[in-house]
Amino acid sequence: MAVDVLCEVSNCTYWDEGNKCAADRIYVVSHTGKEAGDQHETDCKTFQPEQH
């Protein structure tokens, strides 16, 4: 599990010094349904497709 979650949106309520996210939870979505092919289909810059 990630220790540091980075955020560059300084006007977010959960933004903290050092571009850290101080939210208790993170919600990541896909723009194409339940699965995504690459990070451009999500709101997650660290998305990597699961290897089967």
Tens digits of pLDDT across the chain (52 residues): 678 999 999 999 999 999 999 999 989 999 999 999 998 999 888 888 888 7
DSSP string over 1-52? --S--B---TTSTTEETTTEE--S-----BTTSS--SSGGGBS-TT--PPP-
| pTM for this model (two decimals) | 0.69
Specify if 29 maps to a domain.
Answer: yes
Specify if 23 maps to a domain.
Answer: yes
Specify if 52 maps to a domain.
Answer: no
Q: What domain range includes position 27?
A: 1-47
Rounded CA-CA distance 29/39 in Å is 10
- In the numeric block, which tokens belong to residue 30? 């896909």
Specify if 38 maps to a domain.
Answer: yes
Specify if 6 maps to a domain.
Answer: yes
Specify if 9 maps to a domain.
Answer: yes
The total number of structural domains that make up the chain: 1
